[in-house]
């Protein structure tokens, strides 16, 4: 009887620990507070940046900041226009281009964006960079790190963590944060997200770049370029961001609807952007 009661309480607590992803509305497990996520990711980001070398390429650095700021403004406009203004305070945006030859980029919770110089070699326009940054910012908006840490906590500590009985939760959070951020791992800063998270970030990223005034049509060609055009040399970026026919066909399938709902025909000022932002009704599979 006691066990049954405990199982019931655990299930009830799990339900109350669910949040929903902006734009897609998908329900997700969030066992870690925004504050805990932000402080653990900020310390990981700070130590990463202390060891990283900033790019000396001022043109490309300015490009990262320019596109990043527009995506950030579009993201905040969307959140503000959809009753999610509380989420905006979680972001304190930073944009960095660092010396690293890998084809990669990431956005930490809190809006800390890092692009590697290697990726810029295949980026030929602001629109293409917006595909990458929209995707990365989407991971942060969708709190994929929180969801992944919550799944890890649940797997490692079970009901204890859900019921609040875990004696040293902050140590447990730090421990799973190290696993999730994978400092020093072969993938670089962030360990791979699941296919579900990648697909969701693709979808949300296209919407964010469209709201920001960029052309989402370039996404198909960009991911084709990332897939190496059938060459045997697979870029490093693909080891963390699997690119395949499914991803590209999903993007092709979603583009008309996204352009219709979020596309702009005139100016791209924040005011105009805010007016254009409407709640998405599409829900990902």
- Closer to Zn ion by CB, 32 or 107: give it: 107
Instruction: State how far the Cα of 138 lies from the Cα of 204, in Å rounded to an integer.
Output: 6
- Closer to Zn ion by CB, 113 or 161: give it: 113
Phi-psi domain of 243 (left: phi exceeds 0; alpha: psi -120 through 50; beta: other)? beta
* Residues 13, 162 contacting (CB under 8 angstroms): yes
- Closer to Zn ion by CB, 103 or 172: give it: 103
Instruction: State how far the Cα of 98 lies from the Cα of 61, in Å rounded to an integer.
Output: 9
Query: Least distance (Å) from Zn ion to the CB of residue 133?
Result: 11
The residue from 76, 117, 128, 136 that is catalytic is 136
Query: Least distance (Å) from Zn ion to the CB of residue 241?
Result: 5
Q: Kindly identify the residues of this chain, within the stretch 203-242, that bind Zn ion according to CB under 5 A.
A: 241
- Cα–Cα distances (Å) from 190 to 72, 103, 114, 207, 218, in that order, read 20, 13, 11, 23, 25
Structure tokens of 189?
């800063």
Distance, first Cα to last Cα, the chain: 38
Is 136 tagged catalytic? yes
List of long-range contacts for 166-175, beta carbons under 8 Å, 24+ apart: 170/36, 173/32, 173/36, 173/40, 173/149, 174/40
- Closer to Zn ion by CB, 56 or 228: give it: 228
Instruction: State how far the Cα of 281 lies from the Cα of 147, in Å rounded to an integer.
Output: 22
- Closer to Zn ion by CB, 198 or 236: give it: 198
Q: What mask of x and - would describe binding to Zn ion in positions 173 to 202, judged by CB under 5 A?
A: -------------------------x--x-
Q: What mask of x and - would describe binding to Zn ion in positions 9 to 28, judged by CB under 5 A?
A: --------------------
Active site residues: 136
Residues that bind Zn ion (CB under 5 A): 198, 201, 241
């Amino acid at each position: 009887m006691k066990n049954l009661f405990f199982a019931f309480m655990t299930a009830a607590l799990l339900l109350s620990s669910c949040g929903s992803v902006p734009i897609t509305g998908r329900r997700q497990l969030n066992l870690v507070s925004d504050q805990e996520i932000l402080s653990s990711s900020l310390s990981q980001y700070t130590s990463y940046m202390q060891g990283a070398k900033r790019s000396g390429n001022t043109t490309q650095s300015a490009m990262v900041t320019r596109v990043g700021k527009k995506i950030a403004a579009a993201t905040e406009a969307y959140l503000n226009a959809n009753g999610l203004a509380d989420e905006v305070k979680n972001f304190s945006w930073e944009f960095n281009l660092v010396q690293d030859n890998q084809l990669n980029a990431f956005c930490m919770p809190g809006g800390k964006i890092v692009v590697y110089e290697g990726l810029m070699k295949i980026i030929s326009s602001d629109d293409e960079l917006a595909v990458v940054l929209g995707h990365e910012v989407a991971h942060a908006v969708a709190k994929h790190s929180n969801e992944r840490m919550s799944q890890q906590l649940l797997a490692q500590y079970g009901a204890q963590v859900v019921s609040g009985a875990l004696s040293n939760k902050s140590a447990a959070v730090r421990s799973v944060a190290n696993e999730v951020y994978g400092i020093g791992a072969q993938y670089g800063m962030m360990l791979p997200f699941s296919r579900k998270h990648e697909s969701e970030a693709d979808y949300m990223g296209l919407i964010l770049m469209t709201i920001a005034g960029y052309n989402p049509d370039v996404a198909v060609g960009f991911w084709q370029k990332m897939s190496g055009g059938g060459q045997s040399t697979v870029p490093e970026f693909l080891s963390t961001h699997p690119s395949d026919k499914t991803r590209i066909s999903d993007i092709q399938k979603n583009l008309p609807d996204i352009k219709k709902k979020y596309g702009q025909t005139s100016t791209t000022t924040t005011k105009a952007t805010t007016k254009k932002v409407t709640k998405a009704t599409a829900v990902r599979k």
